Amino acid sequence: MSLSSTIPLTRLRGITPIHDDIQEVDELFHNLNASVAFDLPETIPGPRWKQDLHALLEQPTSSSSAFVMHIFITSSIIISALVTVLETVPTFRKISNAVWFGFETTLVALFTMEYIARSLAWSGSWRLYLRWALSFHGIIDLLAILPYYIEIALAQDTASFFRFSILRTFRLLRVFRPFRYNNSILLTIEVMFLSFRRSQHALLALSFFVVMVLVVFSTLLYFIERGTWDPSIEVFLDSNGEPSQFTSIPMAAWFVLVSKWCTWIFLLCVDHRISRQRSQR
């Protein structure tokens, strides 16, 4: 065999052909999609307007109107989550509750109309409707609007009981729906999966090293910063007489983990900047 000849990958011990990995990844994504979503049927039984409504709401690449509708719904989802977040900011708590209620009512009305429209689009048969209603996206759509109507029915804010308003943020999960229409995104995910799979032993060794370093430095920090034990109140006190923040090694580990990662990221950024300056020279 000449030096320039190609050696088949199957001749190399311990190396799995790339084709097999890609096939396994395809099967993985197929099973994942089957578990959290459902395949869109080519045709919806029923009148033509149901088929058009289904294409408008479920197939954003079918027409320009469907694409605009998809952008509008996705924007509404992001605005809804943003409103939920801003309600918790102390600066915005000065705003009247009527303003927040108006925002929420408008968004819930839009999402309710969307849910009804999707129900009509999937009402060609009971099998198709239940397939959609019990799917991941169907359940998320329902959970996103239920808290509002529960509050109206109880005539009080249920957030003080069960934090129902958090469920509205779950609608953000629906922004991942466009991923199944973009082959480049799916290909990127497959490449990432293959990269992690081929580097699993190196990543395992690196993880073990990081954990060992974390345990060592956390233990040192705990014994150095825990302070003096006060038997009267049964806590460690620091030099100022205040209860120590490092009450245990896990508490010290959290501080080491955060500070260490920040330091590593800073050093990586500095090293990258220096490398770029050297390459430009």
User: What's the pLDDT score for residue 236?
Assistant: 77
Residue 237: DSSP 8-state: E
Of 47, 27, 23, give the one whose Cα is nearest residue 125: 47
Tell me the helix, strand and coil percentages in the chain, rounded to 5: 75, 0, 25
Q: What is the pLDDT of residues 63-122, one digit of tens each?
A: 889 889 888 988 888 888 788 778 777 788 788 878 888 888 898 899 899 999 999 988
Confidence check: pLDDT of 8 > 60: no
Q: What is the pLDDT of residues 216-227, one digit of tens each?
A: 888 887 787 777
Q: Average pLDDT, stretch 56-68?
A: 85
pLDDT reading at 173 higher than 80:
no
What is the per-residue DSSP string for 78-145? HHHHHHHHHTTSGGGGGS-HHHHHHHHHHHHHHHHHHHHHHHHHTTTSHHHHHHHHTSHHHHHHHHHH
**Domain segments of the chain: what residues?**
33-191, 199-280
Given this model, what pLDDT does residue 109 score? 92
Three-state DSSP at 13 gives: coil
Domain 33-191 bears CATH identifier 1.20.120.350: yes
Q: Which residues contact 193 (CB under 8 A, 6 or more apart)?
A: 25, 28
Provide the mean pLDDT of the chain: 73
pLDDT tens figures, 85-96: 787 777 887 888
Q: Distance between CA atoms of 36 and 134, rounded to whole angstroms?
A: 10
> Which is higher by pLDDT, 239 or 133?
133
Identify whether the C-beta of residue 83 lies closer than 8 Å to the C-beta of residue 104: yes
Burial level of 24, CB count in 10 A (0-12/13-18/19+)? Answer: middle
Q: By the 8 A CB rule, do 84 and 169 touch?
A: yes
Output 44-49 pairs: Cβ under 8 A, ≥24 positions apart: 44/121, 44/122, 44/124, 44/128, 45/124, 45/125, 45/128, 46/123, 46/124
> How many beta carbons lie within 10 A of that of residue 76, not counting itself?
16
Tens digit of each residue's pLDDT (9 = 90 or more) over 134-153? 987 788 888 878 877 877 88
pTM of the predicted structure, to 2 decimals = 0.56
